[in-house]
Amino acid sequence: MMEKEELEPNEITFVSVLRGCSIAGLVDRGLEYFVLMKSKYGIEPWPEHYGCMVDLYGRAGRLEEALQFIKSIPSKPHSGAWGALLNACKIYRNIGGNIENKVFDLRIFLPPYFPSN
């Protein structure tokens, strides 16, 4: 619809679209939009975009893919991405499971405002 009206999406537009895909469980569609954001519109992802993508994978129960996505983030992952993954672990009863343990093994990569013991 935006293209029909000759409107260019911006960073906020893509946060909204990715969030909508996450809530609707449209993983493949969300991934398409994430790729288009960079390739077609030249928009560099914000931490919020990465967090939406982790949430997208996590809500779909694709926890390993969510963790791999976090590892692929070029900068230090934002706490929102880690929180989305841990929330998905809770939803899918992975607490104490394989993915959560991997997250805690990676705690050295967490931002300083994330507690680590």
The C-alpha angle with vertex 41 and arms to 78 and 38, in degrees rounded to 5, equals 40
Q: How far apart are CA 30 and CA 17, in angstroms?
A: 8
Instruction: Supply the pLDDT for residue 15.
Output: 98
**Lowest-confidence segment of 3-12, 13-22, 54-63, 95-104 by average pLDDT:** 95-104
Burial bucket for residue 71 (CB in 10 Å: 0-12, 13-18, 19+) = exposed
Helix (H, G, I), strand (E, B) or coil at 22: helix
Instruction: Give the pLDDT mean for 67-91.
Output: 88
pLDDT digits (tens, 9 = 90+) for 20-62: 999 999 999 999 999 999 999 999 999 999 999 999 999 999 9
Res. 91 pLDDT band, cuts 50 70 90? confident
Rounded to two decimals, the pTM is 0.80
Residue 63 in contact with residue 95, Cβ under 8 Å? no
Residue 73 pLDDT > 50? yes
Instruction: Supply the pLDDT for residue 21.
Output: 98
Domain boundaries, the chain: 11-109
Residue 93 pLDDT > 90? no
